[in-house]
Homo-oligomer: A and B are copies of this chain.
Amino acid sequence: MATTTSKGPTGQVVPSVLRAGRILEALAAGPPTATLAELSRRLDMPRSSTLAICNSLLEAGLLLRDADGAYRLGPQVLELGRAYLGQTDLLSEFGRVTSESGFLPAQTLICSVLRGRDVVYVGRRPGASPLGVAYEIGLRLPAHCTASGLAMLSTLDEAELDELYRDAGELEQLTPSSISTPAELRKRLATVRERGYAVDDGETAAAMICLGATVRDDAGAAVGAVAVSMPKGARSEAELADDADELRRLADQISRGLGAP
């Protein structure tokens, strides 16, 4: 997995390239069209250099010019966006976002996907704590026992759940606290949908609490989940609520990297 660093070194920059970036950003933020005078005024840039930069962005296809002379984003930005999406997968975004984020540095963060009725762990950001959970990449666990799995299952509709658990029989329990019936699973999934994240309270392993949130792609499909597991009692109720909020933000950030709105 290629991990990525943040903005990179703050070495020598080219002011006109930074300005080009600001012009693109301004038109993306809207209003979607702006005349040369408006851009120059809004971004506090000299008119002559704004014109030369816009000419260059036009030539690169990154801008268009309307018949009335106003500038707008050009179709080349769509090509770039599409290329980015083609090059970016769940795992590389998980790596990039967690390496940039200081989220729960002591705990191990996990990235997983749903495969049938199981979750498979595909990525991990190790935590600093010696008490961390030692999940191995490739580990496969029943989805209904884990926070990751519950988060992903909560995105399925009734028909998909029926199909998935039709020939499932009794649900396997990893601990006495694990969900054991399809009815119990459905009830729990309603709670997950309501909260926007899943909690596994001693259901994967005794004395362990785990939070999970879904990652979506540009089509809105749940392509994976991020989760954090902690020894029960390591965090207070209030801290866990904050952790859940932050985990959701982390999942949303990865989702946006994968093209989700």
Interface residues of A (CB under 8 A from B): 2-5, 7-18, 20-22, 24-25, 27-30, 32-33, 48-49, 51-68, 70, 72-87, 96, 99, 219, 256-257, 259, 261
Interface centre among A22, A48, A67, A83 (most CB of B within 10 A): A83
Tell me which residues across on chain B come within 8 A of A49, comparing CB atoms. 14
Given contacts A4-B66, A55-B9, A56-B14, contact A84 B79 (CB under 8 A): no
A83: nearest chain-B partner, CB-CB: B28
Tell me which residues across on chain B come within 8 A of A65, comparing CB atoms. 4-5, 8
Given contacts A14-B16, A64-B96, A75-B257, contact A8 B83 (CB under 8 A): no
A75 CB contact (under 8 Å) in B27, B32, B219, B256: B256
Report the Cα distance A64→B27, complex, angstroms: 22
Decide if B18 touches A82 in the complex (CB within 8 Å): no
Report the Cα distance A59→B11, complex, angstroms: 10
Decide if A10 touches B55 in the complex (CB within 8 Å): yes
A84 CB contact (under 8 Å) in B57, B66, B78: B78
